[in-house]
Structure 1
Amino acid sequence: MTTQPMLKPERPFFSSGPTAKPPVWAPDRIDTRSLGRSHRSKYAKGRLKYAIDLSKELLGVPEDYLVGIMPASDTGALECAMWTMLGARPATIAAWESFGNVWIQDAVKQLKLSDCQVLDADYGEIPDLSQVPQDNDVVFTWNGTTSGARIPDTDWLAADRAGLAINDATSAVFAQEMDWPRLDVTTYSWQKVMGSEAQHGMMILSPKAVERVESYDPPWPLPKLFRIKKGGSINTGIFEGATINTPSMLATEDYILALEWAKSIGGRQAMFERADANAKIVTDWIEATPWLRNMVADPALRTNTGVCMVFTGDWYESLSAEDQAAVPRKITAKLEELDVGYDFNGYRDAPPSLRIWCGGSVEQEDIRRLLPWIEWAYENLKSGSL
């Protein structure tokens, strides 16, 4: 295809984080009554609690689980869980992409866990999770944000396992159903599937996780941002809107807007369906495009959020490694210049690739309009005219 397409996406936002705002988003739709108020005022604290309660409702979190707002996005929430709970028993850290490998580094180099099993896999694959001992605490990423590979099920987690299951679900919640009875800690950030603002994370704790916090004192120092225990018990205030440090009420109201939109269209099931439909458009197109292949070979492991694809074919494979790496950069740079699509280059540590976000805040028609432009840019790059 060398003829430039006619239609551009109306919302050219395809970043995998922060992701596209909900389709109804506009600055004047944000409730500003909490702005300029103390986050500890009755009104602002009530808004924080409302964000917690609405998150719990939409995600179908069990009543006896705790949900709290944490600082430092998903990273802060996940690392809080690792720093406060790991070390009580042997641990397994399972990773198959960039962020999961950060948790490996935390466990091995920072916490220096004495009994730690590491399970890792290349981009596009998942390690053999049946190797995880049921007595071990396990840290894993439900959905590989930078590889497009997700766990196919939770059968490898026994319902009565002794160890904790600590789940980084930041690019999975609101797009994929969580198996709550098998999960003890689940974390995510507002800026992923809900398309809200960054720097705030959520931590969801099962009763077993709460018991671990209350019965265990780790041997390393805990910074203030990780202290979720008070007087030997879980600090329940954190899960009722009393955040550890000062939150952005503007970001909170932005998140509430996204949650209310999701509820208005049918809740998490509608969000699942939107992500599935978006991802199908992209995966079907990859299958029909001879110079692309899905980074994840096994269809059972493919995500419905950040779909990743790598280049193939005689022309691409004839290029040097440096020129191969330039192909996705040049395509995405050109389409950004034309305001066709923003921020869909593959992750910097991943193989040279494209990554199109397909979460529920993206519209199908915008994805359909983007794909012919990628074909146009590739053909023009191949012919030397891009």
Structure 2
Amino acid sequence: MDVSITAKPAVRPANPNFSSGPCAKRPGFTLAALDGAMLGRSHRAKEPKAKLAEIITRSRDILGLPKDWRLGIVPASDTGAVEMALWSMLGARPVDVLAFESFSEAWATDIIKQLKLPDARVLSAPYGQLPDLAAVDFNHDVVLAWNGTTAGTRIPNGDWIAHDRAGLVIADATSAAFAMKLPFEKLDVVTWSWQKVLGGEAAHGMLALSPRAVERLTTYKPAWPLPKIFRMTSGGKLTEGLFLGETINTPSMLAAEDALDGLRWAERIGGLPALIERSEANLGAIADWVAGNERVGFLAADPAIRSSTSICLTIAAPWFASLDADGQAKAAKRVAALLEAEAVAYDIAAYRDAPPGLRIWGGATVDTDNITALLPWIDWAIDTVAAETSAR
């Protein structure tokens, strides 16, 4: 095989951080932004609690959360927020779970193998596709990921969700919130974490509840015991303090200050419309590059369901297709390793359970200029690995 290697590009991304979590910090970030952190203070004290409440208020305002929804800070990142919802609310009705990538498959595992709900259905699709949305029964509770972080697929809109649904819709939106317009009128529980679109630090989750979700919490008691860290009610009443900054356990006030910095930045640049525009511009730059490029393709072939945050690419070159599964996995990791060695892209190998390829974070904190500068380097890295493979 005669391989022509693209010349090593002259321009490097100013910021090589394209990880899908924790994600790139907002442009211009320095540690000086955290100078106001309430370090060494109790999170129950007046000033630190006000910081936590401010995170809730600013998040509500930017996202356009309906006034009658509750929003709270919870432990254990988005995973903790989703688990709180599943273990506290499911079991009252049959459940439909949409599983089309690693994390949504994990929620299906929880529901089937851990909660052992007998009336649960798993509606599955391979990486890069979505399950049949028309097959969802809205007399059931529905659990889904709005954006498939490990597959580069997203739910395109909420048109398919019934207004008159009897069940709850629980949406893991961790890599969608602040980069995509979420149809809150069609959802009942929405979760995300600080570490994704606004580039915050890890370990803290956000849990948003509609009035219908609150009603479920206060009228339904699961058949299984709930650990303290999952409890949102006491004596049949909602623990309102949880949604006012009174967290269940001790949060990091340093991470809280960082979250506030990201929220204030979002407000400065124009709020949710500007955040969405930045993310979509990143996807657009990659789509323009993929078009006509024989080296790469999108894992999500359908543009209508293609994520603008976790942008997942396949290696489409004929030499790559001729390799066996193990060879493809090694070649894709080698491409990512070359980019890291050149300090032009960190942490962009495909997720371990996904098909071999690359995953570029295109959320709002990533400047499109950095995406544009990265793409020729990917051409170079793929050609370099092709040459190495041919020489064996």
Q: For the superposition of Structure 1 and Structure 2, which TM-score range results when normalised by the shorter chain?
A: over 0.9
Partner of 1:180: 184
Letter in 2 for 1:302: R
Q: Distance in 2 between the 1:86 and 1:318 partners?
A: 46
Q: Identify the range of structure 1 (147-156 vs 38-47) with the bigger mean alpha-carbon deviation.
A: 147-156
Residues 58-207 of structure 1: pairs in structure 2 closer than 5 A = 58-207=62-211
Partner of 1:285: 289
Q: Distance in 1 between the 2:289 and 2:247 partners?
A: 44
Q: Which runs of 4+ in 1 moved over 4 A?
A: none
CA shift, 1:31, in A, is: 3.5
Partner of 1:7: 11
Q: Distance in 2 between the 1:66 and 1:325 partners?
A: 44
Q: Distance in 1 between the 2:287 and 2:349 partners?
A: 16
Gaps of 5+ in 1: none
TM-superposition CA deviations, 1:348-386 (whole Å, max 9, x none): 000001011111100111111111111111112211299
Q: Identify the range of structure 1 (103-112 vs 315-324) with the bigger mean alpha-carbon deviation.
A: 315-324
CA contact (8 A) 1:9 1:366 kept: yes
Match of 1:34 among 35, 38, 47: 38
Q: Distance in 2 between the 1:151 and 1:355 partners?
A: 18
CA shift, 1:182, in A, is: 0.9
Equivalent position SS for 2:312 = strand
Partner of 1:318: 322
TM norm structure 2: 0.97
TM-superposition CA deviations, 1:285-311 (whole Å, max 9, x none): 122211211101111110111111111
Equivalent position SS for 1:203 = strand
Q: Distance in 1 between the 2:183 and 2:6 partners?
A: 47
CA shift, 1:132, in A, is: 1.1
CA shift, 1:159, in A, is: 1.1
Gaps of 5+ in 2: none
Q: Identify the range of structure 1 (94-103 vs 374-383) with the bigger mean alpha-carbon deviation.
A: 374-383
Q: Distance in 1 between the 2:38 and 2:344 partners?
A: 36
Q: Distance in 2 between the 1:156 and 1:75 partners?
A: 25
Q: Distance in 1 between the 2:52 and 2:26 partners?
A: 20
Is it true that 1:248 corresponds to 2:252 in the alignment? yes
Q: Distance in 1 between the 2:31 and 2:363 partners?
A: 21
Root-mean-square deviation over aligned CA pairs: 1.1
Q: Distance in 2 between the 1:326 and 1:33 partners?
A: 43
CA shift, 1:313, in A, is: 3.0
Equivalent position SS for 2:191 = strand
CA contact (8 A) 2:295 2:379 kept: no
Partner of 1:238: 242
TM-superposition CA deviations, 1:69-99 (whole Å, max 9, x none): 0100000000100000000111111110000
Is it true that 1:383 corresponds to 2:381 in the alignment? no
Q: State the identity as a percent.
A: 50
CA contact (8 A) 2:172 2:190 kept: yes
Equivalent position SS for 1:309 = strand
Partner of 1:219: 223
Letter in 2 for 1:49: A
CA shift, 1:24, in A, is: 2.2
Q: Report the number of matched residues.
A: 386
CA shift, 1:27, in A, is: 0.3
Q: Distance in 1 between the 2:204 and 2:334 partners?
A: 33
CA shift, 1:322, in A, is: 1.6
CA contact (8 A) 1:286 1:309 kept: no
CA shift, 1:33, in A, is: 4.2
Partner of 2:358: 354
CA contact (8 A) 2:37 2:257 kept: no
Partner of 1:327: 331
Equivalent position SS for 1:92 = strand
Partner of 1:373: 377
Q: Distance in 1 between the 2:52 and 2:382 partners?
A: 46
